[in-house]
Chains A and B, each alone.
Chain A
Amino acid sequence: MKEFTPGDVVFTTAFPVQRADLAAYAEASGDHNPIHLDRAAAEAAGLPDVIAHGMFTMGLVSRAVVEWVAESGLEASLTDFSARFAKPVVVPAEGGTTVEIEAKVRKAEADSVELAITARSGGEKVLAPARATLTARS
């Protein structure tokens, strides 16, 4: 995948996030921690308001990657994917929030490309860059 150049931005996207999305994710994932659903529970845990599941945010990043792979027609599988949940994604009841995602090429090898992906919400970088490695299907 030497057609990719380290440092190049390969996609940017933004996803709105509402409380209802967190409720749907809690159901689908089985993670029913109330800090993702209920303001009082979030405050009791020392948080300013309800926060998204870290895995919901990572899931949105995976969606951005999967959509980009589909659009660009890459014949590749995601073989490695990591993230650190650096700051919470705070989701107010009114209006929700937005997660903005930007992916840059970190490394291009003959049969793989590694992306460094930032996610921002509420003016903060919420992930210490996520990394995704796509490997050509043999």
Chain B
Amino acid sequence: MLNASYVGRSLPTTDPVEITAESVARFAAALGLSGVPAASGAVPPTYLITLTLPAAERLVDDPDFGLDWSKVLHRDQRFAYHREVRPGTSVTCTSTIESIKTVAGNDLLSLRTDVADADGLVAESWTTLFVAAATDAAGEAA
């Protein structure tokens, strides 16, 4: 089980990372988006997950929180875009634990990650992770 006292906490903001044209092109190609005329030059709609999920994954480094990434399934995802994000922009991510709900020993962990560039907030990403209960064997080992 996750440590519910972490609700409301934010992880330290990540260092700025430049969104490179190469990483965007690779992501677009993997979804078959490379042939689509991108009128605005914005990154693919789900591209920010490549930054927001690793930012949140740092929670596994905190043993007091109790998150085992091998037990995690992605359940819900939402993005809100305040401005279009283009390659060449440098952004930071700030992840906040919004809620933890426990159902039959499994946890639903909801996180919000704010994505900001030099001018402020550009997008928000909400991720809910299903975290399976530890098995008995794992419980004994722990």
Contact = CB atoms under 8 A, between A and B. Distances in A.
A2 interface: no
B102 to A, nearest CB: 19
Nearest to B25: A28
B29 A55 contact: no
Given A21-B30, A25-B30, A28-B29, A62 B76 contact: no
Instruction: Tell me what chain B mostly uses at the interface: helix, strand, loop, or mixed.
Output: mixed
Given A63-B33, A78-B45, A29 B77 contact: no
Contact of A58 (B38, B77, B84): B77
B75 A30 contact: no
Contact size range, A: 20 to 34
Interface string B59-77: 0000000000000011111
The 3 closest A-B pairs by CB, nearest first: A82-B78, A28-B30, A62-B45
Interface of A: 15, 21, 24-25, 27-31, 53-56, 58-60, 62-63, 65-67, 69-70, 75, 77-85, 137
Given A60-B32, A79-B80, 10 more contacts: A15-B32, A28-B23, A29-B27, A55-B46, A66-B33, A66-B36, A66-B44, A70-B36, A70-B39, A81-B45
30 contacts: A15-B32, A24-B30, A25-B31, A27-B26, A27-B30, A28-B27, A28-B50, A29-B27, A30-B50, A31-B53, A53-B74, A54-B74, A55-B46, A55-B74, A58-B46, A59-B31, A59-B44, A59-B45, A59-B46, A62-B45, A63-B36, A65-B45, A69-B39, A70-B36, A77-B81, A77-B84, A82-B77, A83-B78, A84-B75, A85-B76
